Structure 1
């Protein structure tokens, strides 16, 4: 997230809130409505023309004018809060801080059989006066320290320094988060969130069974992929209302799963995306909706790396004031009230192979929609959606689509 100074605009103060800007990233511990909005963010992002990469692990970045962390005026707070599903309960949003603190503690805990690490840092212009309460809040709830840089006189060096930090935190998978000219001497603050995940399948694919097969990009276009194969017992179901198979591939320890949604060959992926909400996702993937049986699984080996400008997505969700010089209010960060959000960037990396994944994020009526017969073959040889989910909390850490090799 990049903040830039605004000249001569004033904005009223706001009640404390820390609004994370970005797509799905970790959304556990936020309550159902906030998780729902996180899912909607991903769905909104997916409604653009298909791209192969996943909107996962949101890094954000800012410039002077508007609060990412407490406090904004009600007229500005609630449009932004609605966009991010941050409720007014519990003291004007204080529960949001605590929810993220709990989440970060959970995902960064040691002793797991997978590697999942998140890292947050504030890179602030050394000559700019940020409120100590803002810095304390970031440190306490988000494990994010403030590092002072000289954006005014050493812009390129500052950009390179931030990219080096991100590369270290993502095991070298994301090396150029900030492109040339993405920061300038007017930049006052860059907020960065990095998340890195690496997990092995609980039931690995045999490399000897991987072979080249056609992937149907569209009805008339095919491209070759290295298709993995595994015949084993997995949880799977079929959602009749969207003509889609859902397969659960657990990672070692079964604390995390990859969930794949594969529409039939006559159903466009966009049709599934338009129907997908967080509530429906949770309903469709409930354990009691799944059948555990022997399945033949065909899954392409793939690697995705994409860059995204998230401003359009956030504006679509109703978060517009933060980007406007005349209306943005980040008075919870600085008493100068001269900041606005100029850019939100996101870069993600996901690799899926035989060993596992590496990534740098009910009612009776519905049950009747479930197909009685589950096809024992799951062949992902055409576009599909995938999600990495934390089993204990149902939180989505990453999500994306695979449309073309």
Structure 2
């Protein structure tokens, strides 16, 4: 009799384990997707840092980065709609194959570039094409993930949002780590081909993600071919004014992140006379501090206060100003100290700002709104910065120098962060009761 009673208990435990694994799987896929996405995005800082020193063309940095920073975001809404069309005409397996192939190819293309000194625009054109494919493929993936997670595991949405944030942080850190390893262990001659390694590694990550999604589909019986008939962005627009306020606020955080990990490596290399290896060492330490602070903030039970976030934003702005002053005057210790402190502050903001915005969004479209915001967080301030750069370049002409570049950088930081502080204060006070309730519930 005892043996007979134990059998159902064992079966029940086995069943519970399977259910838990099924619930964890979509979270893992979203986490891994964020890792691949942010690794790919920040790896581009490495290719431009290398190519600018290789290709002797005055405006490749200005035009090239401007081109690449914006194109991938502009084509993501196209990806939402392509995913809906594909799912209506093909099985989900076919969609996964198409999406995985596009994503891998878009990440791999930059690594296949042959650096030709007299054809920088050809390089920009190739990368432009890769970013178009990249934007569409990530749009397809995101629309598919929304369908999969929302309809299969609706109670795991909030945890998925938090996990995506940490995945983004890990992808950023992984990019810096790989770049550091490449420059640390390869000679200058070996770097002539070795600069492609980060992109080949990114393509490998994409293939692993693709294989995981494909094999997962075949194993899970509960996965159906459901598809959202409405694109992700139209769902997110239902949040109204809160969506746009949230986008302005999170763009402030993105402005700091982008400046630290993409703009600063270019500037400290040329202004402080550092070689590629020294620059990546500085960024590796910064990334480590950034990631550590993010994880501490993630598991901190105290709810973030408005004053703490605003102080962090204001201090970041002050440190950016100090950093630019230090770079102009070639003060290495002050420059490094400012960068490391910025890494710590950015790690804190990386977690607390999305958490606060999430509390203010309508429950019925919260998941879609947060994904939409995270998709476009690097778009808003980039428009400001690139327009300012292009206008300054047209006005200054051949007299445009890196000094003017840093002035434009500083101006764009102020233009992005100050509105973010006001938007954050407004959103917080309008939703302070709801935020307190959500934080106490958490």
| Alignment TM class, shorter chain as reference | under 0.3
Task: Give the TM-score normalised by structure 1.
Answer: 0.25
**Could you say which structure has the greater relative contact order, defined with CA pairs below 8 angstroms and 6 or more residues apart?**
1
- Report the structure, 1 or 2, having the larger helix content: 2
